[in-house]
Chain A
C-alpha cells in the first residue's frame, strides 16, 4: 500500500495505526508562532469502532490500509458465522464473525443490502442501511384511537431488536426503523 503524508490526511482516508486499520475523521494543523508544525488527527479504529486522537509531526506519513466497503445482502447464519453475498451479480459470498457483526446483529434481515467493510479481503464490520423495515413479533395490544397522543411501549422486532413504539402499534405490523438511533420512524 502507498504511504500517505499528513497533508494528505482527509476525512475517510484509511491508514494503518498500531497494527489496526483506521479511518481518518478529522485532521487539524497545529503550529506555534515560530517552530515545528504538528497535525492533530482524529481517527476511528475500524476494528473496535473507537475514536481517538493522535499527534504527528507535519510531513510524517502512515501506511495506507487495504480497506474497502462493499454492498452485500444478508443470506443466513449457521450459528457460528453470518453469510452475506455481493450484490454486484458475482454471487460471491463472505462469512462474517460475530465480533465483526457487532451491534448490527439485531438489524439483520434476509435480502437487505448491508455495507461490509473488508480489510485485506476479510470482513471487519457490517453497517446496516440507515432505515430498515421490520415486523413486530411481540408487543402489548394496540390502544384504539390513541394515534396522536404521546406515550410509547416496547416492541420486539423480527430481527430481535427491541424498540420503543407508539401505543397504537399492533403485533404483525411492519415498521420503518432508523438503525442509527434505534428509533421508530413510521408504519412501513
Chain B
C-alpha cells in the first residue's frame, strides 16, 4: 500500500492560514501587545482532571527528568507577567492527548494573550474584535448569557439546585446515553454533557455568544465571585461561533496559596479517579507568590477560527499535517 505522505491541507488553504496569522500579529501590534515565545516543555504540567498531558524524558544538567508538553502556554506566560512583561500574546503549539476529531487535533495552535489591568468585560470586547477582524462574517452582535440562564432557557432547570438524581436522568436522556450510564457521575459531568449536547449547538448562530458565570467548580485558573443571585461562580467566559467553542477567558487568579490548593484538589481528584497525578508547577506558584499584576487572559483555538473563517469541515483541512499523518 502506498504511504500517504501528502499534507492534510491544500496549498491555497495554507496561504490563507499564513495571511490570517499575519492579521493576528497586526491586530496585536497596533495595540502594543508584545509577541512572546515560551517553551513547549515544562517541569510542571496541567493538573486539570479532564486534560491528558503528554510527557517525555530528557537528559538535563540535573540528570534524567520527566518534562511535560504544555496543554497551553499559560504557566510560562504568567511567569513573564510576574516578571513585568506587560501585555503579551503568543501563538503556541499545545498538546492534549486523545483529543482527535473534526474540531480537535492532539497537537494544535493556541492563541493566548494576557492583559494586565483588563476586566473580563474589556477582554470580551477585545476577543470579539479579533474574531471579527479575522473573519468579517463573524462581525455579528455580541450576546452575553449567564450559564444558569442558558439551563433555564433550554432545559427549564436550575443547574445549581436541581437534584443530582434527576439531573443524571435528564442528562442521560437528553444526551442519548444508555439509561443508568450516569448513575455514579458527578453534577459537573451531567452539566458538561447537557451543555455540550443540548446547549452549545445553538450558541453563536447569527451572533457571537458569550457565556459567563460558570459554576465555581469549573473555575480552573480563574477567580470566583458571587453572582447577582448570591451564587459563587467562576469569573470566566467562553465565546461561541456557529455552535463551536472558540475561546476561554479568565479574570486571572493571582493568589498563590489558592492556586496551590486548586492544583492539590485536582491531584486528589485524579487519585480518586485512578488517573496519574501531574507534577505541580512550583515555578508558577513562586511567580504568583512574587506577585502577578491583576488582569485577564484568554486562550483561543486559532486553528478552529481559521477552520470557520475558511469554511472547512474538518480541523485537519487547515493543518499542514494533522496528527494521524505526522
Contacts and interface: CB of A to CB of B under 8 A. Distances in A.
16 contacts: A29-B103, A31-B99, A31-B104, A32-B192, A33-B238, A33-B248, A34-B48, A34-B214, A36-B192, A37-B99, A38-B193, A40-B197, A54-B178, A55-B177, A56-B177, A56-B181
Question: Which residue of B101, B102, B218 has the most chain A CB atoms within 10 A of its CB atom?
Answer: B101
Contact of A36 (B100, B104, B176, B193): B193
Contacts of A57: 181, 185, 189
B214 to A, nearest CB: 8
B196 A7 contact: no
B292 interface: no
A29 B192 contact: no
B114 to A, nearest CB: 18
B188 interface: yes
The size class of the interface chain A forms with chain B is: 20 to 34
A146 interface: no
Given A36-B189, A38-B175, A29 B100 contact: yes
Nearest to B189: A36
A63 interface: no
Interface residues of B, number: 30
B120 interface: no
B245 interface: yes
Interface of B: 48, 50, 98-104, 175-178, 181, 185, 188-189, 191-193, 195-197, 200, 214, 218, 220, 238, 245, 248
Contacts of A56: 177, 181
Interface of A: 7, 18, 27-38, 40, 53-58
A7 B100 CA distance: 8
Nearest to A56: B177
Contacts of B101: 27-30
A12 to B, nearest CB: 16
Contacts of A38: 175, 192-193, 196-197
Contact of B192 (A7, A27, A35): A35
